[in-house]
């Protein structure tokens, strides 16, 4: 009985945890921590159960209220969804561990734990929803929860960053809703499987032009969320502003919602490169790789430097998507797995260096090599980000570049290679300035939970290469499943074709 309800549990569990915290543990930090730990443990078990069910290509569909398509709300879980759910739980677990050591009791009492659970709920909902309007709804849940976490503490830099963050996300919301409304007006549905079916049957003419316009609006909305060049300028100011624990959750998961949406919606609904908007994805990836890494090089604030690298690394994922081949999408998914874990880990390492030195700028730290655990964590994560073999970043970059060569996307491949070299230069700069060079200053102690949270994520840079072959086979199969959505459409709509009235 419970097995049939698995697809909705990634949404219900964190929502229930947040409600329980607000009702029964509002002033009790330890109770909130315990509820959060139970929630994430349950989510981990649910994620494993979902992975086991979809590993062979099965698509799980859950119809709320048992409404038959295209009516009602449908949730679905396939290979890609299950990977994203698992990564969200892992990142949230590391964030919770780190926050226990980083945050003071006042910030924890200021609804950090309920907001984190609501953020997880919004992320999970975006990964399992089967229709565009509910994807928009979960984006709004994300916006509310992330805004609350961003301003937690009410420091001036947080309030400044929150204004820009809120304005750009409201613009994204307007574009998203306008795109969804246009598709509904033309095709009479927001169910993604039904949209895919109807668009494939749509003749050339004014209706097709409106669909293309809706695609461009959705591309712009997803580009803002994923921080693609030239729409990334809000992110390097916003992500360094909150606590390191919150920043790590943002760095790991928030931009990847945009990347996930890009892959899901444009592969399923708009048929990839066959759409006007889909043809823009690869050029955007090239600009994003180079623009992000060039912005990172002159930065002196550790977390701001890492924020620019989020943009450049997202460019690799979007490059894989923009090739619109099974290998390209598989490489993008493998890159997502690598990057979420290593980037969130690097943000936590930056938080540890701030705790040790009391400094945010690299030049003010100096001789952090005296802390062997922090140094080892940075070396592994930094080298992995730059793509040094045999770490996970090397394999992820190799897969995306190989897919680019196979597709003859030589300009994107050249940009990927240059970006990798400049990323290595940037990580070397951090090493020479903050860890090896500078003046030795008295260091504070970093609590064990902070080190444990960072170590949990960084360890995957070493562990993923050990299972690279089965992981790649899974990612490649997920990419093939995205590009060949007939099984998805049949799972959601059934065997009988449905056509909405235009």
3 state SS for 363-402 = HHCCCHHHCHHHHHHHHHHHHHHHCCCCCHHHHHHHHHHH
For residue 497, tell me if it sits in a domain: no
% of the chain surpassing 90 pLDDT: 70
For residue 219, the tally of other CB atoms under 10 A from its CB is 25
pLDDT average, residue stretch 377-394: 94
Q: What share of the chain is helix, strand, coil (3-state, %, to 5)?
A: 80, 5, 20
Mean pLDDT of the 144-156 span: 84
Q: Which helix (H) or strand (E) holds 76?
A: strand 74-77
**pLDDT exceeds 70 at position 497:** no
Is the pLDDT higher at 3 or at 262?
Answer: 262
**CA proximity to 423, closest of 344, 497, 315:** 315
Q: What is the DSSP letter of 501?
A: -
Residue 448 in domain? yes
Q: Is there a domain that residue 498 lies in? A: no
For the record, the structure tokens of 499 come out as 């056509």
Measured distance CA(175)–CA(136) in Å, rounded: 10
- Whole-number pLDDT of residue 407: 94
Q: Assign 169 a pLDDT band (cuts: 50, 70, 90).
A: confident
pLDDT in tens, 414-455: 999 999 999 999 999 999 999 988 777 888 898 999 999 999
Q: What is the pLDDT of residue 500?
A: 41
pLDDT per position as a tens digit, 341-361: 999 999 999 999 999 998 889
* 191 phi and psi angles, rounded to 5 deg: -65, 125
Looking at residue 207, its pLDDT comes to 85
- Label residues 197-217 b or e (16+ Cβ within 10 Å = b): bbbeeeeeeebeebbebbbeb
Structure confidence at residue 82 as a pLDDT band (50, 70, 90): very high
Contact 353, 365 (CB under 8 A): yes
This prediction's pTM = 0.94
Does position 69 have pLDDT exceeding 80, yes or no? no
Helix (H, G, I), strand (E, B) or coil at 191: strand
Comparing CA positions, the residue from 4, 9, 10, 3 lying closest to residue 85 is 10
Structure tokens at 96: 């919770």
Could you tell me if residue 184 is inside a domain? yes
Which pLDDT belongs to residue 96?
Answer: 95
- What pLDDT was estimated at residue 460? 96
- Contact between 209 and 183 under an 8 Å Cβ cutoff? The reply is no
* DSSP state letter for 78: -
Torsion (CA) 19, 20, 22, 23 in degrees, nearest 10? 110
Alpha helices in 250-325 (DSSP H): 255-268, 281-296, 302-322
End-to-end Cα, the chain, rounded Å: 39
- The residues, any chain, with a CB within 8 Å of residue 490's CB and separated by 6 or more, are none
At residue 59, the 3 state secondary structure works out as: coil
Looking at residue 499, what is its pLDDT? 45
- pLDDT one-digit tens code per residue, 52-64: 999 999 999 999 8
Confirm whether 45 is domain-assigned.
yes
Q: What's the CA gap between 152 and 250, in Å, rounded?
A: 14
Tokens 């574009």 belong to residue: 175
Residue 71 maps to a domain: yes
- CB distance 261 to 130 below 8 Å: no
Do residues 135 and 261 touch, judged by C-beta distance below 8 A? Answer: yes
Average pLDDT along the chain:
91
Q: The tokens of 98 are what? A: 């780190």
Domain that holds residue 292: 2-492
Structural domain includes residue 75: yes
- Output the pLDDT for position 3: 63
What is the domain count for the chain? 1
Report yes or no on 470 lying in a domain: yes
Torsion sign, CA atoms 211, 212, 217, 218? positive
């Amino acid at each position: 009985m419970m097995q049939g309800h698995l697809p909705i549990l990634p949404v219900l569990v964190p929502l229930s945890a947040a409600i329980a915290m607000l009702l029964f543990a509002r002033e009790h930090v330890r109770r909130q921590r315990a509820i959060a730990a139970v929630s994430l443990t349950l989510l981990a078990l649910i994620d494993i159960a979902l992975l086991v069910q979809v590993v062979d290509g099965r698509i799980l569909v859950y119809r709320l209220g048992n409404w038959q398509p295209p009516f009602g709300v449908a949730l679905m879980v396939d290979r890609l969804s299950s990977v994203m759910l698992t990564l969200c739980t892992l990142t949230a677990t590391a964030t919770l561990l780190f926050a226990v050591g980083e945050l003071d009791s006042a910030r924890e009492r200021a609804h950090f734990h309920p907001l984190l659970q609501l953020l997880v709920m919004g992320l999970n909902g975006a990964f399992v929803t089967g229709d565009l309007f509910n994807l928009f709804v979960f984006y709004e849940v994300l916006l509310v929860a992330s805004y609350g976490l961003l301003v937690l503490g009410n420091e001036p830099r947080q309030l400044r960053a929150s204004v820009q963050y809120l304005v750009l996300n409201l613009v994204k919301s307007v574009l998203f809703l306008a795109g969804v409304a246009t598709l509904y007006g033309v095709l009479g549905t927001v169910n993604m499987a039904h949209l895919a079916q109807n668009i494939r049957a749509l003749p050339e003419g004014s209706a097709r032009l409106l669909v293309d316009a809706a695609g461009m609006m959705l591309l712009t909305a997803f580009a803002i969320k994923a921080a693609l060049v030239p729409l990334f300028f809000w992110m390097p100011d916003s992500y360094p502003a909150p606590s390191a624990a919150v920043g790590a959750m943002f760095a790991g998961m928030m931009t990847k919602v945009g990347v996930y949406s890009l892959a899901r919606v444009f592969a399923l609904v708009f048929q990839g490169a066959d759409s006007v908007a889909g043809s823009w994805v690869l050029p955007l990836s090239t600009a994003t790789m180079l623009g992000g890494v060039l912005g990172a090089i002159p930065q002196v604030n550790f977390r701001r430097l890492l924020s620019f690298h989020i943009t450049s690394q997202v460019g690799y994922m979007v490059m894989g998507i923009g090739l619109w081949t099974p290998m390209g999408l598989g490489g993008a998914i493998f890159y997502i797995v690598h990057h979420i874990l290593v980037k969130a880990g690097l943000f936590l390492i930056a938080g540890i260096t701030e705790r040790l030195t009391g400094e945010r700028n690299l030049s003010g730290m100096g001789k952090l090599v005296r802390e062997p655990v922090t140094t080892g964590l940075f070396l592994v994560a930094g080298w992995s980000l730059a793509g040094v073999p045999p770490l996970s970043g090397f394999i992820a970059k190799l897969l995306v570049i190989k897919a680019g060569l196979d597709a003859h996307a030589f300009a994107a491949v050249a940009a990927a290679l240059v970006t990798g070299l400049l990323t290595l230069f940037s990580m070397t700069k951090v090493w020479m300035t903050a860890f090896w060079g500078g003046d030795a200053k008295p260091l504070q102690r970093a609590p064990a939970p902070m080190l444990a949270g960072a170590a949990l994520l960084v360890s995957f840079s070493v562990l993923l290469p050990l299972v690279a072959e089965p992981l790649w086979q899974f990612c490649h199969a997920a990419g093939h499943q995205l590009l060949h959505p007939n099984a998805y459409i049949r799972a959601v709509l059934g065997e009988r074709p449905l056509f909405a009235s235009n």
